[in-house]
Amino acid sequence: MLNMKQKKAITAEVGGRYIKATKKDKGKILDEFTATTGYNRTYAARALRLSPGRIVGYSKIGGRKVKYVIGKAGKIKRVRNKIYTHDVFLALKKIWTIFDFICSKRLKPFMA
C-alpha cells in the first residue's frame, strides 16, 4: 500500500506525461495509474489533469491580480491595525484576569 507522499510523487511524475499524451495513450496511462495508486478512474484523471505547478486561473482580489496554481499555498494574510496601545492592552489583560477571564460581553458592564 502506498502512502500519501508516494502517491503525490507518482501523480506529479505521471501528470506531465498524461497532459502531453494523445487520447489513446491517456487511456493506457490512466489504467496503469489507477492500478498503481488504487484511485477511482474519474478521480485519477482529474488528479493527473491538475498536476502540481499547473495554473488553474486568475482573479482580482483587492485590486491585485492573483494567480491560482495547483499545489501552492495561496493564502493572503490580512494585517489589521492595532486598536489599543501596549500599555492599554496590559491594563485590560490585568482587569480580565481579575474577573476570572470572562467574555467581553460580560466584562463590558464592569468597565463602566
pLDDT digits (tens, 9 = 90+) for 75-93: 677 888 988 899 999 999 9
pLDDT over 90 percentage in the chain: 39
Q: What are the phi and psi torsion angles at 32 (to 5°)?
A: -65, -40
Residue 32, SS3? helix
CA dihedral 8→13→18→21, nearest 10 degrees, is 180
- Farthest CA pair distance, the chain: 76
Question: Length of the chain in residues, anyone?
Answer: 112
Burial of residue 11 (CB within 10 Å: 0-12, 13-18, 19+) is buried
- pLDDT for 35 beyond 90: yes
pLDDT, mean over the chain? 86
pLDDT at 28: 95
- pLDDT for 73 beyond 80: no
Q: Once rounded to an integer, what is the mean pLDDT over residues 31-44?
A: 93
